[in-house]
Structure 1
Amino acid sequence: MKQHLIFDLDGTLIDSAPSILHCFGLAFSTTNTPLAAPLTHDVIGPPLMETLKRLSENEDAALLNMLASAFKQHYDTTGCLESVVFDGVTALLQQLKDQGYQLYIATNKRFYPTERIMAHLGWQAFFTGVYALDYFNPPLKSKAEMIGRVVADNALAVEDCLYIGDRLEDGISADANQMDFALVSWGYAGDVAMRKPHWQSCAKVQDLAGLISTL
């Protein structure tokens, strides 16, 4: 039985795409920077600076820092609070908590807006720990490293853990830690047919608790 459930955030528990894409658009328009790539759902998930490099097709540090500051100005004030919870997720978290599972978040989203979202949704009591790359100093380099920190910091047995996310990167990060993974397809995963054979998959929030109980 899996006792420790580690969740991705964007695209897994919340639909943050509309607010994130809107704030990216504002960041580029207010800095008079041309967008070099379309603002589509597939840009949601990677760390902020990685996404800005992709959207600008530019690696100039000064430009990227200016775009990051503009994005944070919009997203960290009101944008992050416009995230929408996927139907059934709050009830799912309550059910899993009541059943004795220990819940964690491991997200590429920066810690400050993540913390604001948790407070806004009243979710703090659900989670034993909330992890973000920039929570650490220096920041962690990858989601795989972050999942490893969840395991190490909480003295978890990896065989008792399940990582749950909506992107192929999430599964690859779980694999790097020899951790079981469940790919959910209600988020931004795109072609779930690309999933690896040993991964679990779930198409509906309402079915996730049942899947977890079988592992």
Structure 2
Amino acid sequence: MMTAVIFDLDGTLIDSAPAIHAVSNAELVARGFAPLTLDQVRSFVGRGVPHLVRCLLETSGENADGPLHGEICATLIERYETQLEGNHFYPGVRAALDQLRDHGHRLAICTNKPYGPAEAVLFHLGILDLFDVVIGGDSLPTRKPEPAMLHAAHERLGGGPMIYVGDSEIDAETAANAGAPFALYTEGYRKSDVHDLRHQVAFSEFEMLPAIVANWHWGA
């Protein structure tokens, strides 16, 4: 049975934290702030650029919603589209995506990263053409954990059986809000214990994913 397989991006298909850390620190230092650690910046990832910038400013002792917020959001998005070094696949991702496509499954991305940077990094890594649909955090009026993004991707893929693949608390909440089965990749950016996140299946290696999709018991 052909399935709509919808993926989160950061922390699921790619480890983008090093790249986000680099561009965030470049922006902070350019504005006279101290650089932050990789672990600090990684903990801010997942809710979109506005949330990231609020965290950067708050940690730097600035008003999180002051006049700098909009300025830094705009310049970070510009940096994201061109400063792409530091983004890399998790092990086994490319092979799993190719296998899913070869088996006829339809693939989409739903990410809170803005559409432009998401498209740029997918192109940079050579996998943009594997996805029939890419929806970014600025593509719709709402972003995850609201369910509209998943519903839109599912509809654009033609409906039918669907599974959402993500790594975080936000992804688990999004799947629950959308009424979608959730496959949790355990090696991403989550902060909670695996058992504390709502999911139907968890996996630690992408080599496992094609079999998970193939053997999923829809409606069970």
TM-score (normalised: structure 1): 0.87
Pairwise mapping of residues 57-96 of structure 1 onto structure 2 (< 5 A)?
57=58, 58-78=63-83, 80-96=84-100
Aligned 8 A contact 1:164 1:182 in 2: yes
Query: How far, CA to CA, are the matches of 2:156 and 2:142 in structure 1?
Result: 14
Match of residue 39 from structure 1: 40
Aligned 8 A contact 1:76 1:113 in 2: yes
CA gap of 1:155–1:100, structure 2 versus 1, over 3 A, is closer
Q: Runs of 4 or more off by more than 3 Å in structure 1? A: 33-38, 152-155
Higher mean C-alpha deviation, range 160-169 or range 47-56: 47-56
Match of residue 151 from structure 1: 154
- Structure 1 unaligned segments of length 5 or more: list them: none
How far residue 81 of structure 1 moved from its aligned partner, in angstroms, is: 4.3
TM-score (normalised: structure 2): 0.85
Higher mean C-alpha deviation, range 185-194 or range 18-27: 185-194
Match of residue 116 from structure 1: 120
Match of residue 51 from structure 1: 52
Match of residue 171 from structure 1: 172
Aligned 8 A contact 2:185 2:204 in 1: yes
3-state DSSP of counterpart to 1:55? helix
Counterpart of 1:66, as a letter, is E
Aligned 8 A contact 2:88 2:125 in 1: no
Counterpart of 1:11, as a letter, is G
Query: How far, CA to CA, are the matches of 1:155 and 1:2 in structure 2?
Result: 11
CA gap of 1:62–1:13, structure 2 versus 1, over 3 A, is same
Counterpart of 1:99, as a letter, is H
Aligned 8 A contact 1:31 1:70 in 2: no
CA gap of 1:125–1:74, structure 2 versus 1, over 3 A, is closer
Counterpart of 1:192, as a letter, is V
CA gap of 1:122–1:176, structure 2 versus 1, over 3 A, is same
Tell me the number of residue pairs that the alignment of Structure 1 and Structure 2 aligns: 209
CA gap of 1:149–1:89, structure 2 versus 1, over 3 A, is same
Counterpart of 1:71, as a letter, is L
RMSD: 2.2
Counterpart of 2:51, as a letter, is E
Query: How far, CA to CA, are the matches of 2:176 and 2:6 in structure 1?
Result: 14
CA-to-aligned-CA distance 1:89-147 (integer Å, 9 cap, x gap): 111111000001001110111111111112222213211111112124xx434342211
Match of residue 10 from structure 2: 10
Counterpart of 1:199, as a letter, is Q
